[in-house]
Structure 1
Amino acid sequence: MMEGLREELRAGARLFDAGEWWEAHEAWEGPWMHASGDERHFIQALILLAAALHKRWHHGSLAHRNFHKAEAYLDRLPAEYGGVHLARLRAEVWEALHDSSLRPRVEES
């Protein structure tokens, strides 16, 4: 579990891990509006990764654009932030954009 994250961020992570990417995106919007600095970059990256996965299913051409926007935020953060292995998540989302059978997870099992 992501012990370093507030409950409202963990709620979004649970939705993301369940494949409810648009709902995760929406769950993270409130915390994003009140965050600053690295936490804001972190939440923005999560929102964009969720949007990329959602759009892979519904608007394929926009998925990669969202992923590349997320990379700009991920590049500002360490490989692990808030208990989330961002380097792993980044690689998993990229692979999932090309293989729809893959299901990336924010939380490690």
Structure 2
Amino acid sequence: YKLLAIDGSLTDLPNNKNLMKEFGGIKGSHNKFIKLKAQTSGIYDCLNNMMIDFQIAPYQTSEKELAYKNIKNTLKLFKNNEIILIFDRGYPSNELFNYLKEKTKQT
């Protein structure tokens, strides 16, 4: 089995106009950005201590949306492997379970 864990995080970005346009962040009064941030998500191989897939997206992107991309890319890499995928408590949903069920049928 491949033992993989997935989680997301908000990441601070340096104050830069190009990054502001691309990723956004937290706005304060007068609708000005006070902190630039990005949403990130990754799948980590727990037994081999390595990142398998990593996504970075605008601040407003959902953690689950990036998780779907992580899963899709990981299943391409491990087509013939059995995978145990660990999520934290914010991920489980009928939609996600159906997605995983459908994707594993295709591999």
TM-score normalised to the size of structure 1? 0.33
| Larger Rg belongs to | 2
Higher helix fraction (1 or 2) = 1
TM-score normalised to the size of structure 2? 0.34
Higher strand fraction (1 or 2) = 2
